[in-house]
Amino acid sequence: AGRLVGLADREREVAYAVGRGRSNAEIAADLYMSVPTVKAHVSRVLAKLGLNNRVQIALLVHDADPATGDGADRGGDVR
């Protein structure tokens, strides 16, 4: 998970959702929070990681684990 480890749990959850291409409204519904709260988490993720936009969050999440975007070992095929 690399740089994502320094995030709070909810910030990390939001970052993973951004990495999966979810909109703020979708993230809010998925994580049972308001859209303004999602926006606040996205802003904090950007600030903490020194990023400028959601695409950079998505790339960072993808780099953590291209298959799942969350760095978790799913026991898949390793090449």
pLDDT in tens, 10-41: 999 999 999 999 999 999 999 999 999 999 99
pTM check: above 0.75: yes
How far is 71 from 61, CA to CA, in rounded Å?
8
Q: In terms of Cα–Cα distance, which of 36, 37, 33, 38 is closest to 16? A: 38
The domains found in the chain, sorted by start residue, are 2-64 (1.10.10.10)
Per-residue pLDDT at 37: 98
Q: Is 43 within 8 Å of 4 (Cβ atoms)?
A: no
Give the pLDDT band of residue 3 (cuts 50, 70, 90): confident
How far is 19 from 52, CA to CA, in rounded Å?
14
Q: Is 57 within 8 Å of 51 (Cβ atoms)?
A: yes
Per-residue pLDDT at 69: 46
Percent of the chain with pLDDT over 70: 80
